[in-house]
Amino acid sequence: MWHQGFRSRPASGEHDARTPGSAPGSACRRAYYRVAGILPIRLTPLVGREIDVAIFDLSLPDPLMQPIEEDDENAPLMARLRRLEEKLDLLLGATRIDLPRPLSGRDRQSLVFSGSGLALEVDWSFRRGDAYRVEILLPAPYSRVVRAVGFAVEDPPAGTMDAPTRRLAIELRHMETADRDDLVAYSYDLQRVALRARAGEAGC
């Protein structure tokens, strides 16, 4: 089973996502409770030094998700930033540098996830221990990209090498606390929706 590679409890010093008023044991279990969803997600393979760089980058703000509110006070700053952006666009166009595009609806995939890991179908080969930069776009009210560095927890299931897709399970080993909190909070939202749906069906 794909989830056997996930830890059933946080390692020493690892973030323990809790909700107000909940018992520590139950909160810990809820943080690692898996739910299914359809979300924009991007996995980028990492090798060698790229892994350490990606882990370090998690502590830095995502430049694609840092909106600046425009008002009278910072209008001159915004005007300067626009001019700089126009110059950068010209330079990047001239040098043909490919920058990662923001995640959007076209990146939506079905996945199973929790605060500790995720699993989804992929069309490439992988091995246990392979590293990935993980980016997941959460919908409103979060409206932000959560980032992590994760590792494949097992080799592809036997007999799937010739299949069009195979199930990849990833442990989210490196993740900022705020990102993990929002991912867990969104999983709670999905759980509540599922519970209400079941209650409605039972009441019919």
Dihedrals phi, psi of 18, to nearest 5 degrees: -135, 155
The reply to whether the predicted model has a pTM over 0.95 is no
Render 137-180 in DSSP notation, one character per residue. Answer: EE-TTT-EEEEEEEEE-SPPPTT-TTSS-EEEEEEEEEE-HHHH
Q: What confidence score (pLDDT) does residue 93 get? A: 61
Give the span between the Cα atoms of 150 and 138, in whole angstroms: 18
> Which segments in the chain show pLDDT lower than 70?
1-32, 63-75, 77-78, 81, 88-89, 91-100, 202-204
Alpha helices in the chain (DSSP H): 24-31, 49-57, 75-95, 177-203
Q: What confidence score (pLDDT) does residue 64 get? A: 57
Q: What confidence score (pLDDT) does residue 20 get? A: 38
One-letter amino acid for residue 168 of the chain: L
Q: What confidence score (pLDDT) does residue 5 get? A: 41
Tens-place pLDDT, residues 53-87: 999 999 988 765 554 454 555 567 667 767 777 77
